[in-house]
Amino acid sequence: ERALCCDVGASLKYKHSHMASNLHLLETAKILYTTGFFIISSFESILTLARYAIENNKIFAINLSAVYICDSYLKELLEIIEYADCVFGNEDETSAFGWKVGLEFSDLHEVTTYISKLPKKNTSKPWIVTTTQGKNPVLCSIYSPDTDELFTSTTEVDVIDKENIMDLNGAGDAFVGGFLAQFVQGRDVAKCIDAGL
């Protein structure tokens, strides 16, 4: 199903000095998005980005990115998630996160909601956590820490004929791109999810 063969060696050489010297380029950005992979390549850089988002009232979004990120870098992931406003993951990543934090339930909507209720640095903005499941429904939990209000939703996916699917690489990235493209325009979360699909 997957045709991606990659060498992540170059990404492991990313220098924090590059991030620090280019923060001024983020001044006009409304949303700052990163993947969990950056936790491995330059944790100092992702932390700098997260702090910049809080200090400058930017939306900060992160993707869980891979099961092994949840398994092997949970401490760092939890530290970064505190800064986030949006968290994205697929069913495998969300499930791995749930097991790693010791949740005894396996219901992905419950894990999605659990993530949305984690400690958050900026409590004036709601948490938006989505879990994609391929052809199965997208799960979403929106939690407002300052009002303790929770909204959950399930969005059905229009199934594509199997013979029209060539490669699954980039499906999650395409979802995030569509979601954030609408989110930055102030659309409601339901429309953001539809755009991601």
Q: Which residues are catalytic?
A: 173
How far apart are the C-alpha atoms of 75 and 66, rounded to whole Å? 15
Q: How far is CA 144 from CA 35, 85, 95, in A?
A: 23, 10, 23
Specify the residue for token string 């429904």: 137
Dihedral, CA of residue 53, residue 196, residue 70 and residue 110, to nearest 10: 100
The distance between the two most distant Cα atoms of the chain, rounded to a whole number of Å, is: 48
User: Could you tell me the two tokens for 7?
Assistant: 């060498």
Count CB atoms within 10 A of the CB of residue 25. 8
| Distance from the Cα of residue 177 to its chain's centroid | 11
Amino acid in the structure at residue 136? N
Q: What is d(CA 121, CA 52) in angstroms, rounded to the nearest whole number?
A: 12
Q: Tell which residue, 178, 174, 190, has the closest CA to residue 134.
A: 174
